[in-house]
Amino acid sequence: MSENLKTGAGKHKRACYVLANLKENMNLDVYVGQSKTVEKRPSSHSKKFNLYNMEPCANEQEMNHLEGTLWHLVKASVRANENHPNTEFCPFCA
Ligand SMILES: [Zn+2]
């Protein structure tokens, strides 16, 4: 999947991303993150994820808001994040 991203136009895209691992037993792990170099980020995760999506963000504020929103959208039982990312910027927790 990181190969496909490298061929995308532009470098160092600012974006929020969602990594998901859907296992054969239908258990799901979902990780929400943000990166200013999103094309490099997924491959730096040690854990294997088999689904990937990202949403480009225009600026830092948009990225922080989106990351918090995505985190809240993921059901607690399937979250792979150890902690709530960027709590201070979260539109739900602020
Ligand atoms: Zn929050």
70 alpha carbon – ligand 1 mean position (Å) = 9
CATH number at residue 16: 3.40.1440
Please compute the mean of the pLDDT values over residues 32-61 and round it to a whole number.
84
Confidence class for position 37, pLDDT limits 50, 70, 90: confident
Is residue 94 one of the residues assigned to a domain?
A: no
Q: CA-based diameter of the chain, in Å? A: 38
The structural domain count of the chain equals: 1
3 state DSSP class of 41: coil
DSSP 8-state assignment for residue 53: E
Ligand 1 (ion): residues with CB under 5 Å are 68, 90, 92-93
Identify the domain containing residue 76 by its residue range: 2-89
Please compute the mean of the pLDDT values over residues 22-39 and round it to a whole number.
88
